[in-house]
Amino acid sequence: MTAVLESSGLSKRYGRRQALTDCTLSIPSGHVTGLVGPNGAGKTTLLNLAVGLLQPTSGKIEVLGGQPASSSEQLARVGFVAQDTPTYGGLSVADHLKLGAHMNPGWDNELAERRITQLGLDPAQKAGKMSGGQRAQLALTLAVAKRPELLILDEPIASLDPLARREFLQVLMEATAEQELSVVMSSHLVSDLERACDYLIVLVASRVRLAGEVDQLLATHWQLTGPRCDPAALPDDWQVISASHTDRQSTLLVRTSGPVADPAWAADHIGLEDLVLAYMSQPAPQPARTATPSMEAQR
């Protein structure tokens, strides 16, 4: 399966501030990918690198097999809605559609007009006089009607009401199933992403902590409860994501590809939201150091 976004060792620094560090990803096509992480994690930076608004400090990024924004063909294949859902305040809804038709070779006017009608937007209304949510809907309509192969959305649904959010995510899921569309979208609304996304990236403190197909991630993470344990005595193929202990009991979130066979542990699957929160609250990994004999002894 081809990748819609492929990066290797991708880093971006603003002055002394590291916004993205050594980001290596391969997002397969045909997915709705959720990009989540705390404020300042680097999500917008990654998406802006993917659309060519930023240049990497080091490393590489390819989108649909090409350099971001390297040609008009490449631009036509990628739709983007930035975090502030930019529209032209002095132009009406109808003007925006005309502009979209003029600028995009694959423009689907029927789709654009149908969405504007469904959303109840007045074609004569100027964008500057619309609510934030209505402007977001207009910007999203323009991006979808461009008929891109990849739609990149930076927190697109935050300003939409709950019904509009659900409807929009439904449109995205249908479009990926019926057309050749892939979506990468950042959001803090994990419960919404849970419904729509089948690929997940968790970015924390400028680094990718977790990436993969949602089904696979959920199948390989276990919430375990059992008698208080010595972490050093756990099986080698268990990656402990979080652990809490009382005097008598341990509760672990563990990643492992195999089944949990030890009957001492009660094993439950975990939901996407809890999985994301566990990775978001994981302490930052320590910089790699050469193992010394005393460090080896602690393992």
CA 265 → CA 157, 223, 246, 257, 271, distances in Å? 39, 9, 15, 16, 19
Rounded Cα distance between 198 and 176, Å, is 11
Run of H or E residues at 297: helix 293-298
Q: C-beta of 37: minimal distance to ligand ATP in Å?
A: 5
- Candidates 45, 87, 134, 141: give the one binding ligand ATP (CB under 6 A): 45
Rounded Cα distance between 62 and 39, Å, is 25
Q: C-beta of 69: minimal distance to ligand ATP in Å?
A: 18
- Candidates 37, 68, 79, 100: give the one binding ligand ATP (CB under 6 A): 37
How many residues bind ligand ATP, per CB under 6 A?
Answer: 11
Binding flag, residue 55, ligand ATP (CB under 6 A)? no
Binding flag, residue 56, ligand ATP (CB under 6 A)? no
Q: C-beta of 44: minimal distance to ligand ATP in Å?
A: 3
Span of 42-50, 129-137, 254-262, 265-273 interacting with ligand ATP by CB under 6 A: 42-50
Query: Residue 140 has which token pair?
Result: 């999203």
Rounded Cα distance between 76 and 105, Å, is 7
Binding flag, residue 183, ligand ATP (CB under 6 A)? no
Nearer to ligand ATP, 42 or 68 (CB): 42
Number of neighbours of residue 83 by Cβ within 10 angstroms: 15
- Candidates 14, 118, 179, 180: give the one binding ligand ATP (CB under 6 A): 14
Residue carrying structure tokens 């990024």: 61
- Nearest Cα residue to 143 out of 51, 230, 224, 66: 51
Q: C-beta of 100: minimal distance to ligand ATP in Å?
A: 26
Span of 34-42, 88-96, 129-137, 161-169 interacting with ligand ATP by CB under 6 A: 34-42
Rounded Cα distance between 166 and 281, Å, is 27
R_g of the chain, CA atoms, integer Å: 22
Span of 40-48, 145-153, 172-180, 269-277 interacting with ligand ATP by CB under 6 A: 40-48
For ligand ATP, the binding residues (CB under 6 A) are 14, 17, 19, 37, 39-45
